[in-house]
Amino acid sequence: MPKIESSFLDISRLDALASQRTLIHGLDPRAKIVTTLIFIFIVVSFPKHEVTALVPFTLYPVVLIALANLPPGYLFQKVLLAAPFAFFVGIFNPLLDSEVLIHLGPVGISGGWVSFASIMLRFGLTVGAALVLVATTGMNGIGAGLEKLGAPNSFAVQLTFLYRYLFVLTDEAARMVRARSLRSFGIKGTEVKVFGYMIGHLLLRTMDRAQRIHQAMLCRGFTGELRLPVPLKFSWRDMGFLAGWSSLFILMRLVNIPQWMGLLVTEVLG
Amino acid sequence: MSHHIVEVKDLHYTYPDGTAALGGVGFRITHGESVALIGANGAGKSTLLLHLNGCLIPEAGTVRMGDFPLTKKTLPHVRQTVGMVFQDPDDQLFMPTVYDDVAFGPLNLGLPPDEIEDRVMEALATVGAAHLRNRPPYRLSGGEKRAVAIASVLSMGPSILIMDEPSSNLDPKARRQLIHLLKSFEHTMIIATHDLDMVLDVCGRTMILKGGHIAADGPTEEILQNEPLLHACSLEKPLRLQGCPVCNPVRA
């Protein structure tokens, strides 16, 4: 199953990106998590026909991508991967809402198309911001940050372990799939029955492994709380990052900057 | 130096499904001894090892590790005394980076941050893996994983090391490095393995387990030369002690 394997190799690329050392990577995970949450919350809070006021929000991912030395093409590709979901959420809007909202010369654009564009834009912004968060912080940083922010310890531990063993589990699954295909002589697809056995087997193996891991943890003094080697420090830089971006987001929420600039230009010309 | 002693008396264990794994095992290992635990598959090696650090509680008999008899109450002390290296490093390296993993034990001991840093770097340097500190464990090679797994127990400063098949799945060079590493340790060591050539290099004393009993216990050189005994326990002489296959072909 080369497809599964290669898509997981891709995750490790995200990991490699997260282990860089830049100004943004050095920020406290909590600052980045909260900023991203505020960003997503504000982007989602706009009324459904809003498009222009959303445009300035692209500033946040773009600035972070530039400062954190991330490959924009790669991230864009990842956003596209999730795009079909948003596409199908929004694609019926033009059919349901056909009242013309904007006139561009002879062409009238219906409210449905405007809200569709708005949905796609919001989708791009929020998913992009989340990806930037992962690529600058790493899943483990996010887990640690969430815990310090007050998320239950077990939740953070789950997230960290899920990420760590994703690779082991896919390896195991890939080996099973390969072993099956080597003995099924070109029969395409997997019969439901065999598939059931394989899933069941994988579950049993996973439970065995979980038990061994737990033993290994107990052997090294695990008491139920995952401790971090370096206590996170929330410095004035993190505070600045959080406060600066948040106030900018709020400003962009309250003032439609493109419209305002447009008015300014027409006034000056007039 | 009583805290390096391992003493097991009349240990019995039956798995919940009714499989009798250990039927009266007893031995005493003293300070600084390096002991090989060998035997066929299913002879009870792994079960015995799981008793030595309290992953399993004896059904009958006693286990004494260092200064403490092994009971539920002494478990934290015992686990600090005993460093257990599991067979599959993927089970042991569960933290996001090598550094975090090696720091896991010391953090649970509640040590101050400076001390943790020192211990982690010292343990990594001992196994020659200091350059791997920021790597995620799942992207290491088999030999590197094994080295880090050993570092992750060394960082707790154990006086007794227990290893389950440490040389399995290693290429010859990585295996040789592991042997050098093990020989450099001054800990009391118990190594369960099928790699009898490694036993010749590392362990002065050998115990053979057979069907949940100790079938033999003595100096490695004597035991590994005793062909009838080895044969009876589903074992073979180490390759190095067998004749040259070219000049002296042995019938299969």
- The predicted-structure confidence for A220-263, as pLDDT tens digits, reads as follows 888 777 776 656 788 899 999 999 999 999 999 888 888 888 88
B152 plus B167 within the same structural domain:
no
Helix (H) or strand (E) holding B28: strand B20-29
Amino acid at the residue B157? G
Does any domain span residue B80?
A: no
B92 plus B197 within the same structural domain:
no
B124 plus B143 within the same structural domain:
yes
B45 plus B117 within the same structural domain:
no
Quickly tell me which residue has 């997260």 as its tokens. A18
Does any domain span residue B79?
A: no
Does any domain span residue B1?
A: yes
- Give the pLDDT score at B26: 92
B189 plus B249 within the same structural domain:
yes
Judged by CB atoms closer than 8 Å, whether chains meet at A216 and B134 is answered as no
Q: How far is B93 from chain A (nearest CA, A)?
A: 8
Q: Does B157 touch chain A (CB under 8 A)?
A: no
The answer to whether the beta carbons of residues B206 and B38 sit under 8 Å apart is yes
Cα A156 from Cα A165, distance rounded (Å): 14
| Alpha carbon separation from B208 to A205, B181, B225 (Å, rounded) | 30, 24, 13
Say which of A163, A167, A229 has its CB closest to residue B100.
Answer: A229
Q: Which positions in chain A touch B113 (Cβ < 8 Å)?
A: 229-231
- Give the pLDDT score at B9: 92
* Nearest Cα to Cα of residue B159 among B48, B27, B56, B66: B66
- Give the pLDDT score at B79: 86
Provide mean pLDDT across the span B126-133.
Answer: 91
Q: Which positions in chain A touch B136 (Cβ < 8 Å)?
A: 12, 15, 164
* DSSP line for B102-143: HHHHHHHTT--HHHHHHHHHHHHHHTT-GGGTTS-GGGS-HH
Taking phi over 0 as left and psi of -120 to 50 as alpha, with beta for the rest, A69 belongs to left
Cα A111 off chain centre by = 29
- Among B103, B125, B157, the domain boundary falls at B157
Residue B211 lies in domain: 1-66+159-252
Sheet holding B60-65, edge to edge: B20-29, B6-14, B60-65, B68-69
Pick B95 or B189 by higher pLDDT.
B189
Position B126 pLDDT exceeds 70? yes
- The predicted-structure confidence for A94-151, as pLDDT tens digits, reads as follows 888 777 777 777 777 888 888 889 999 999 999 999 999 989 988 878 888 888 888 8
Judged by CB atoms closer than 8 Å, whether chains meet at B156 and A220 is answered as yes
B248 plus B209 within the same structural domain:
yes
Q: Does B82 touch chain A (CB under 8 A)?
A: yes
Q: Does A161 touch chain B (CB under 8 A)?
A: yes
B249 plus B164 within the same structural domain:
yes
Judged by CB atoms closer than 8 Å, whether chains meet at B108 and A221 is answered as yes
A214 exposed, middle or buried (CB, 10 Å; 0-12, 13-18, 19+)? middle
Quickly tell me which residue has 């326990």 as its tokens. B233
- Among B157, B180, B206, the domain boundary falls at B157
Provide mean pLDDT across the span A42-66.
Answer: 90
Amino acid at the residue B180? H
- Give the pLDDT score at B243: 80
Mean pLDDT (chain B) is 89
Q: Which positions in chain A touch B120 (Cβ < 8 Å)?
A: 229
- Give the pLDDT score at B12: 92
- Which CATH number is B223's domain given? 3.40.50.300
Does any domain span residue B82?
A: no
B180 plus B232 within the same structural domain:
yes
Say which of A12, A138, A164 has its CB closest to residue B94.
Answer: A164
Judged by CB atoms closer than 8 Å, whether chains meet at A160 and B96 is answered as yes
Tell me the sheet residues that pair with B14. Answer: B20
Q: How far is A209 from chain B (nearest CA, A)?
A: 7
Confidence of residue B110 (pLDDT cuts 50, 70, 90): confident
Does any domain span residue B76?
A: no
Position B223 pLDDT exceeds 90? yes
Provide the number of CB pairs (under 8 Å) joining chain A to chain B. 80
B163 plus B251 within the same structural domain:
yes
- Among B113, B137, B157, the domain boundary falls at B157
Quickly tell me which residue has 């002693």 as its tokens. B5
B214 plus B237 within the same structural domain:
yes
- Give the pLDDT score at A210: 86
B117 plus B15 within the same structural domain:
no
Share of chain A above pLDDT 90, in %: 23
Burial profile A154-192: b = 16 or more Cβ within 10 angstroms, e = fewer:
eebeebbbebbbebbebebbeebeeebeeeeeeeeeeee
Cα B23 from Cα B218, distance rounded (Å): 20
B163 plus B61 within the same structural domain:
yes
Position B50 pLDDT exceeds 60? yes
Amino acid at the residue A39? F
Q: What is the predicted ipTM?
A: 0.81
Mean pLDDT (chain A) is 84
Position A2 pLDDT exceeds 50? no
Judged by CB atoms closer than 8 Å, whether chains meet at A229 and B113 is answered as yes
Which of A176-190, B162-176, B200-214 has the least mean pLDDT?
A: A176-190
Give the count of domains, chain B: 2
Confidence of residue A3 (pLDDT cuts 50, 70, 90): low
Confidence of residue A188 (pLDDT cuts 50, 70, 90): low
Share of chain A above pLDDT 70, in %: 92
- The residues, any chain, with a CB within 8 Å of residue A172's CB and separated by 6 or more, are A202, A205, A206
Does any domain span residue B75?
A: no
Q: Does A227 touch chain B (CB under 8 A)?
A: yes
Which of A170, A215, A219 has the highest number of chain B CBs within 10 A, making it the mutation to test binding with B?
A219
Does any domain span residue B77?
A: no
Position B1 pLDDT exceeds 50? no
Judged by CB atoms closer than 8 Å, whether chains meet at B138 and A164 is answered as yes
